[in-house]
Amino acid sequence: MSDSLLADAGTRLQAAMKYVSISEDAIERLKYPKFSLSVSIPVRMDDGSLKIFQGYRVRYDDTRGPGKGGVRYHPNVSLDEVQSLAFWMTFKCAVLNLPFGGAKGGITLNPKTLSKLELERLSRGYIDAIADFIGPDVDILAPDVYTNAMVMGWMMDQYSIINRHISPGVVTGKPLAMGGSVGRDGATAMGAFFAIEAILPKFGLMPPQTTVAVQGFGKVGAVLAELLAKAGYKVVAVSDSQGGIYARKGLDIPSIRQYKAASQGIKAVYCEGSVCNIVEHEVVTNQELLALDVDILIPAALENQITEENANNIKAKYIFEVANGPIASGADRILEAKDIWVFPDILINAGGVTVSYFEWVQNRSGLYWTLEEVNQRLKQKMVTETEQIWSISQELAIPMRTAAYVHALNRLGEALNAKGTRDYYVNGRVS
């Protein structure tokens, strides 16, 4: 794991190793991704010009099942980032006991600069380039940053065209009309909400007295902010890539979501029907939001938002990682020294991949569940694994992040050992 982000991700693995009994073979296998693919995607632009985009797909490990992971469109996408995200997905799937390995994909671009027709050509071109590398039993795609159900629909359709048969199971997060699952759009936020609700009573925190700041008011952070507000929590700050707002008395999240949908901006407003009035608030930067004096901080944007440089500024006592890798490993020690509880991404944001698994199961069976059934199954999964990781944390007196990796390593170790290890081949006998 020589690349910077992947090496940083690997330090969390090292911290957990001392608490598990796992074979040297398993450790060696988990050091490196199984496959890393880089592709060039030619796209004919609307003005007639040809532009080449760089794309990636990484399958980190598939010991427990086919690879599973999203595809993101973002200017900062790189092979290093995609490998790191695939590494996290490997452990996330093991934490939730899903029959998947970890994978991830992405294309380096600013999707806001492309027309819808150009985005469709790009999405179909990506599948043309990686079609031999994916499949319902090999590697399954899903939405991520700046991709959505429409993009997933294009990708599934293109894969089906290439293979000359309908293959809904190759992609999750699809439109409902193409075999998508109800509940998938809000699954990451819903799963995080269930985990938060399971954890906070252990600290005696009750919703009306609990303040929350959410960094990242996108398709996950905005939904989670609204779920928390409806449950009675006082959401006092939210932000997007342009900055944020803070109101000590609390924000009306549904109104802010309505305003952002209409204007693509964030302002503290209260809406009645289509009429929105601005209410008293402070404008804050993303860094200022992270340093607010709140009970709960929810980073729901991108990686490495809390680092060694700003970790000492954090005042929240509880951090729930809804983004992937929002805290750099170097900040872990600082936050721990400040007695700040960090609840890790590989547990907290696992609702998305869990409902993706539900969608995959429904595609394979041809039987589809109601929203109530999906949310009930999601809650059971999230609460069960949250409680198990909490028990490991308490029993071993280790941080929740380390406990989550211990939990995942035990499951991954069993699967890797089942294929045979050095001890088996040197000392074992055929029975």
How many CB atoms neighbour CB 397 within 10 A? 7
Is pLDDT of 29 > 60? Answer: yes
Residue 6 has pLDDT above 80, yes or no: no
Please state which of the ranges 217-221, 234-238, 423-427 shows the lowest mean pLDDT. Answer: 423-427
pLDDT over 90 (residue 220):
yes
pLDDT for position 422:
67
Quote the percentage of the chain above a pLDDT of 70.
95
Total Cβ atoms within 10 A of residue 30: 23
Cβ-contact 353, 165 below 8 angstroms: no
Tell me, what's the pLDDT at 223?
97
Q: Look at residue 38 in the predicted model and tell me its pLDDT.
A: 98
Q: Tell me the mean pLDDT in the region 283-301.
A: 95
Q: Identify the weakest region by mean pLDDT among 21-35, 123-137, 212-226, 270-284.
A: 270-284
Which of these ranges, 126-135, 226-235, 276-285, 339-348, has the smallest mean pLDDT? 276-285
The answer to whether 250 and 238 are in contact (CB under 8 A) is no
Is 230 catalytic? The answer is no
Residues 51-76 have a mean pLDDT of 96
Judge contact between 173 and 359, C-beta under 8 A: yes
- pLDDT of 425 reads 65
What span, in angstroms and rounded, lies between the C-alpha atoms of 28 and 18? Answer: 15
Q: Per DSSP, what are the bridge partners of residue 243?
A: 240
All domains of the chain, ordered by start, with CATH? 4-168 (3.40.50.10860), 187-348 (3.40.50.720)
Q: Which tens digits make up the pLDDT trace of 362-397?
A: 999 999 999 999 999 999 999 999 999 999 999 999
- Residue 210 near residue 234 (C-beta atoms within 8 A): yes
Percent of the chain residues topping a pLDDT of 90 = 77
1 band by pLDDT with thresholds 50, 70 and 90: very low
pTM of the model: 0.90
Q: What angle do CA 416, 418, 419 make, to 5 degrees?
A: 75
Condensed to tens digits (0 to 9), the pLDDT of residues 144-163 reads 989 999 999 999 999 999 99
Mean pLDDT, residues 78-94 taken together: 93
Q: Is the predicted pLDDT of residue 431 greater than 70, yes or no?
A: no
pLDDT tens digits for range 179-196? 999 999 999 999 999 999
pLDDT of residue 28: 81
Q: Which of 92, 104, 234, 381 is catalytic?
A: 104
| Burial category of 23 from C-beta neighbours within 10 Å (exposed 0-12, middle 13-18, buried 19 and up) | middle
What is the pLDDT confidence band of residue 2, given thresholds at 50, 70 and 90?
Answer: very low
Which of the four pLDDT bands, split at 50, 70 and 90, describes residue 169?
very high
**C-alpha span between 249 and 266 (Å, rounded):** 17
pLDDT at 7 > cutoff 80: no
Mean of all residue pLDDT scores within the chain: 92
357 vs 153: CA distance, rounded Å: 17
What is the side-by-side strand order in the sheet with 318-320? 282-284, 243-246, 234-240, 211-215, 296-299, 318-320, 341-343
Tell me: pLDDT of 5 over 70.
no
Question: For the ranges 58-72, 211-225, 413-427, which has the lowest average pLDDT?
Answer: 413-427
Q: What's the pLDDT band for 268 if we cut at 50, 70, 90? A: confident
Q: How confident is the model at residue 245 (pLDDT cuts 50, 70, 90)?
A: very high
Q: What is the pLDDT of residues 298-337, one digit of tens each?
A: 999 988 899 999 999 999 999 999 998 899 989 999 999 9
